[in-house]
Chains A and B, each alone.
Chain A
C-alpha cells in the first residue's frame, strides 16, 4: 500500500514538472471544418509571434456551449454567425471584435468506390441513410437542413438522417463505407481520403463563419493578434488554398 501511495504521488507530480513551459499560450475553439487550416496557421503564428496556439476542435454549437459554461477559450471561430450572436448576447464576445470573412459551400459525398448515382438533391431520397452533422444544433447540419427545406425535400429526408457530433464525423461515417452518403462542406471533402464529391450544392444557403476573441480571455492581446492574423493576408491565403471562399467585405 505504501508503495502504491508513493507511485500515485510520483504520477501526480512528475509529469506536471515536465510540462512546465514558459511560452505564452492561447486556446482557440474552432469549428471542426477549420481543423487543418487553423493548425497550419497556428504554427505560422507561433513562429511569428512566439505565442503558442493550441486548439480544441468540435461542432461550433458544442464549443459555444462550453464557452458559455466558462471554458477558458481565448478565441472562438464559429462556422456560423448564430452561435457567435448567442455569445455576443451573453456578453462573452464584443460585437466590434467580430470578423466575418470566411464562407464555404455544401457538397454531397459518397464512399470513394460507391456506384450510387447521386447527381441531384432528389437522388438522396433513394438512399437508406444520410450522414449529417446534427441538424438540431450543428451549423453544417443546419445549413444542409435549410437547403433541403428550400427544395421541399426535408420532411422525406429527415427520417434517413444519421446525426453526428460535427461535420467531420459525418465525413468519417461516409468514409467507413457504413453510410452511403453525407452532406459536408466542400473543404471537408477536399481532405477526405476515401470519399469523393458526388454532387456540389450550388443553390445552398449562405454560409458565413464568424471569429472573435473571447472577452474573458486572460491574454486579450495575443487573442486579438491571432484573430487579426487569421483575417489578414496570411490567413486569407491559407483559407483560400484549402478551398474556402474569402470575402473582402469583412470588417477590418
Chain B
C-alpha cells in the first residue's frame, strides 16, 4: 500500500463514518415514526425515502447537483452563507448519506414494528411520556435492527460511486474515495494500482462483515440471558 492508497482509505472511512453518524438520529426517528403511524401519508413518505435505493445513483446525483448548483434553490442559500459543498468532501458525505439513508431506515423500521405493542402500552400506563417510552422501551428492543441498519448504511457509504461522482467529482486527496479511485485508475490503464485498492476493499469488507457477526452474536447472547 502506498501513501496515496492509505490517504484514499482514510478519506473513504472518514466520509462514510460522518455520513452514517449524520443519518443515524434522523433515520432512527424516521423509522420510529413510520413504524407507529398508519395512513396514506405513510406509504407516500416511505416510498419517497426508499427512492435512493431504487433510482440509479447517477439520477440521485443529478437531482442533488441541480438543487445545489449556485443558481439552484439550496445552492443560492449555501452560497450566501459562504458554504461550499459541491466538489468538496462535504458533497461526498451528502451523496453517501442520501444513498445510505434507506438502508438504515428499513431494518430499523422493521425492528420497531416487531416490538410487542403491549410493551409500549405498558410503558405508557406506568406513566412514561412518549419520549421516555421511545428511549426506554422502543430503542432497547429495536437495537438489533438499528445495528444492522447502521452497518448496512456504513458499508453502502464506503462503496458509493454514482451519486458521488456527479456532485463531488473524483479529485485526488479531496473527494476521491476508494470506489472512485478504482474507477479512475482503471480507466487510465493503471490496472495494478487499481487492483491494490481492490485488495484493500476486500480486507475492509471482510472486517465489516466479521464485526457485524460478532456484534450481533453478542447481542443475541445478552438477549437470551
Contact = CB atoms under 8 A, between A and B. Distances in A.
B150 A4 contact: yes
Contacts of B215: 1, 3-4
A56 B189 contact: no
A6 to B, nearest CB: 11
B187 A169 contact: yes
A58 B18 CA distance: 28
A56 B187 contact: no
Nearest to A16: B14
Interface string B1-25: 0000001001101101110110010
Contacts of B96: none
Nearest to B11: A15
Contacts of B69: 69-70
A8 B171 contact: no
A164 B187 contact: yes
A100 interface: no
A172 B189 contact: yes
A32 interface: yes
B177 interface: no
Given A1-B147, A4-B215, A56 B154 contact: no
A187 B21 CA distance: 46
Contacts of A169: 187-189
Nearest to A35: B188
Interface residues of A, number: 36
Contacts of B169: 56, 58, 62, 66, 71
Interface in B198-225: 211, 215
Given A16-B14, A18-B10, A54 B173 contact: yes
Interface centre among A10, A19, A175 (most CB of B within 10 A): A19
B10 A66 contact: no
Nearest to B169: A66
Determine chain B's interface SS by DSSP, over half rule.
helix
B188 A4 contact: no
Interface in A137-185: 164-166, 168-169, 171-172, 175-176
Given A54-B173, A70-B75, A15 B188 contact: no
Residue with the greatest number of chain B CB neighbours at <10 A, chosen from A15, A18, A58, A172: A15
A171 B147 CA distance: 46
Contacts of A3: 215
A1 B146 contact: yes
A47 interface: no
Nearest to B190: A172
Given A8-B20, A169-B187, A56 B13 contact: no
Contacts of B154: 8
B31 interface: no
Contact of B84 (A9, A66, A70, A166): A70
B22 to A, nearest CB: 9
A199 interface: no
B172 interface: yes
A12 B188 contact: no
Nearest to A172: B189
A165 B187 CA distance: 8
A27 interface: yes
B141 interface: no
A11 B188 contact: no
Contact of B87 (A1, A70, A176, A193): A70
Contact of A71 (B75, B86, B186): B86
B17 A54 contact: no
Interface in A50-66: 54-56, 58, 62, 66
21 contacts: A1-B143, A1-B150, A3-B215, A4-B211, A5-B21, A8-B154, A11-B14, A12-B14, A15-B13, A19-B10, A35-B188, A54-B173, A56-B171, A58-B169, A58-B170, A69-B87, A70-B86, A70-B87, A71-B87, A71-B171, A169-B188
Given A8-B154, A11-B13, A69-B70, 10 more contacts: A8-B20, A15-B13, A15-B14, A55-B172, A69-B69, A69-B86, A70-B84, A164-B187, A171-B189, A172-B187
Task: Kindly list the 7 A-B residue pairs having the minimum CB-CB distance in the complex, ordered from nearest.
Answer: A172-B189, A71-B87, A11-B17, A15-B10, A12-B17, A56-B171, A169-B187
